[in-house]
Amino acid sequence: MSIQVIEETAFNLLKLAATILPPDVKEALRRAYETETSEMGKAQLEAILENVRVAEERQLPICQDTGVISFYVRIGSDFPIRKGIYEALVRATKRATKEVPLRPNAVDPIQERNTGDNTGRHIPYVHWEIFDGDYMELIAFPKGVGSENMCKLAMLSPAHRLKGLKKFVIDTILEAGGKPCPPVIVGVAFGGGLDIAAELAKRTLLRPLDRPNPVPELAKLEEELLKAINETGIGPMGLGGRWTALRVHVDYACRHPGGYPVAVAIQCWAARRAAARINADGSVEYLTHKVG
Amino acid sequence: MDVAVYKLRTPISEEDVRRLQLGDVIYISGIMVTARDSAHRRAMEILRAGGSLPVDLRGGVLYHCGPVVKKVGEEWRVVAAGPTTSIRMEPFEAEFIKLTGVRVIVGKGGMGADTTRACKEYGAVYTVFTGGCGALAANAIKHVQRVEWFDLGVPEALWVFEVEEFGPLVVTIDAHGNNFHERISAEAERRKAQVYEMLGLE
């Protein structure tokens, strides 16, 4: 197999992510539409479902904010290719920007100039992981800035523990209101340190919405937070209703005895992600989307 | 809320927007001009210096949007063009309304007290299109008339769109000082105690 397979797969994943929502997200939006009691909220969800349908049918980006591009890459220790992967992901990003097309969203903040192709210093951003195995897993995760702007991280005091976390989550959601395009998915992570909490909160957004948290205490916390968030009445697009969030996902790391970092990652309803597994023989299996 | 539906064509008169109420639904035909973060900055520099913008916005529609576009031959085609978060434009918008004479603003997520006051004083409304619905919005954009300030980059340029029944747009700030977003926030704030209680917080 050649590096070309990785580039081609990355391009396909960017296109799939931008144009077709994963089935678990579509299902959650449908359920929200069916059970929304506010008339205005329901009208917003109806537009959302119609937009998702049109984008998929015509292979258009679901949202004009095709986001900042990041990839999560897991490489098996026995996977045959390890050289030139980052460069292949950059080439795929440039090609997707031109051909899907994606909106150029990389602005160099020193020159205050749009680079025009979604690449530049640290962009696309890649999260690397090595595991024992012979295949490679690639996830494309383009995330819009409307919801990214509403994410928050706090170094809370360990005196308050889970109560402090719960209050921080609710206050963050209330401050965000309709701005992050609800119904949102809320990723919460606590423990570790500044970077660890943020990394885990973001990564937990990659979990399919129909997959329960394997840690029973966290599954319970997720349900409790979801119910509370949806009691705020912010609703779809902040126009009122019972669906402010579709799901809450929680993860954690062990914490320092003196620290309690909490990160809240907010994902808009257009929760775009696409994953594939590239086998050692060069064959590709798409994990989130039907291809072929 | 008694919802009425209006179809408006640009240029839009003050009378047309003064009769709109919170929750009313409008559809726009005619011209819509995009401007977001950097375009607002530049517009204010020019207008404050007594200059004029490359597009006349009197009676016009301002769209908080950074589209995905594709150039086919010499022509720009709009691929996706939903609204961006309007509150980022709050520091500029009241003065923008005053100096340009714009009648309808289209965005998402709501705007603040300064914009609400300017809408009342100068006769304008703020409306929302469903966030994220880039493909649906592109459907209503028939033609790109021209693009100005292209040096700001594709998302931030001024795109002049010819649109046909662009909507549904929900009026959430009317021309009489009412702001629907403030009502929802106040209601959420009122429920906060109850939400805290659900989570065992005081």
- pLDDT digits over A57-69, tens only? 999 999 999 999 9
Task: Give me the residues of B, 51-70, that contact A with CB < 8 A.
Answer: 65-70
User: What would the mean pLDDT of A219-241 be, rounded to a whole number?
Assistant: 98
Q: Check whether A47 has a pLDDT greater than 60.
A: yes
CA distance B183 to chain A (A): 10
User: Chain A: residue nearest B197 by CA?
Assistant: A228
Min CA distance, B179 vs chain A (Å)? 11
**A8 CB neighbour count, 10 Å cutoff:** 16
* Helix (H/G/I), strand (E/B), else coil: A90: helix
Report pLDDT for B2: 63
Contact (CB<8Å) A238/B110 = yes
Q: Which residues of A153-166 are buried (b: 16+ CB within 10 A; e: fewer)?
A: bbebeeeeeeebbb
Q: Using an 8 Å Cβ cutoff, are B15 and B111 in contact?
A: no
Distance of alpha carbon B56 from alpha carbon B157, whole angstroms:
15
Give the C-alpha separation, A207 to A227, whole Å.
19
Identify the DSSP state of B154: G
From B93's Cα to the closest Cα of chain A, the distance in A is: 17
Task: List the beta strands (DSSP E) in chain A.
Answer: 68-76, 107-108, 113-114, 125-131, 136-143, 152-156, 184-192, 245-255, 260-267, 274-278, 284-286
Pairwise CB contact (< 8 Å): A181 & B132: yes
Chain A contact present for B202, CB below 8 A: no
pLDDT given for residue A263 in this prediction: 98
- The answer to whether A275 touches A286, Cβ cutoff 8 Å, is yes
Best residue in A40, A58, A65 to probe B by mutation, most B CBs within 10 Å? A65
Distance from CA of A93 to the nearest CA of B (A): 15
Mutation target to probe the B interface, by most B beta carbons within 10 A, among A51, A62, A64, A163 is A64
Q: Sorting pLDDT into bands at 50, 70 and 90, what band is A92? A: very high
Q: Given pLDDT bands bounded at 50, 70 and 90, which one contains residue A292?
A: confident
> Out of A54, A179, A232, whose CB is closest to B135?
A54
Per residue in A148-184, pLDDT (tens digit) is 999 999 999 999 999 999 999 999 999 999 999 999 9
What integer is the mean pLDDT of A34-53? 97
Percent over 70 (pLDDT), chain A: 100
pLDDT digits (tens, 9 = 90+) for A183-218: 999 999 999 999 999 999 999 999 999 999 999 999
Question: B191 CB near a chain A CB, below 8 Å?
Answer: yes
Q: Residue A247: what pLDDT?
A: 98
Q: Among A180, A4, A206, A168, which residue's Cα sits nearest to residue A91?
A: A4
For the entire predicted model, the pTM comes to: 0.95
The answer, for B72 touching chain A at a CB cutoff of 8 Å, is no
pLDDT: which is higher, B3 or A77: A77
List chain B domain ranges.
5-198
pLDDT value at residue B3: 79
CA-to-CA distance for A79 and A136, rounded, in angstroms?
7
Scan for tokens 């005619």, then name that residue.
B30
B87 closest CB neighbour out of A105, A107, A179: A179
The tokens of B133 are what? 């619905």
Low-confidence ranges of chain B (pLDDT < 70): 1-2
A-chain residue closest to B84, CA distance: A146
B40 assigned to active site = yes
**What is the reported pLDDT for B1?**
54
Token pair of A208, please?
């399919």
CA distance B141 to chain A (A): 14
Q: Show which of residues 134-173 on chain B sit within 8 Å of chain A, judged by CB atoms.
A: 134-139, 152-156, 168, 170, 172
User: A141 in helix, strand or coil?
Assistant: strand
Q: What is the token pair recorded at B59?
A: 């009676």
Can you give the pLDDT at residue A1? 80
Radius of gyration of chain B from its Cα atoms, rounded to whole angstroms: 17
From 3.30.420.10, 3.20.130.10, 3.40.50.300, 3.40.640.10, which CATH number describes the B5-198 domain? 3.20.130.10
Strands (E) across A22-135 are located at 68-76, 107-108, 113-114, 125-131
Name the B residues in 82-121 with CB < 8 Å from any A CB: 82, 84-85, 87, 108-110
| Polymer length in residues for chain B | 202
Among B residues 31-50, those touching chain A with beta carbons less than 8 Å apart: none
ipTM: 0.93
Q: By the 8 A CB rule, do B44 and B90 touch?
A: no
SS3 of A40, please?
helix
B64 in Cβ contact with B107 (< 8 Å):
yes
For residues A148 and A54, what is the distance between their CA atoms, to the nearest angstrom? 25
Interface of A with B in 183-222 (CB under 8 A): none
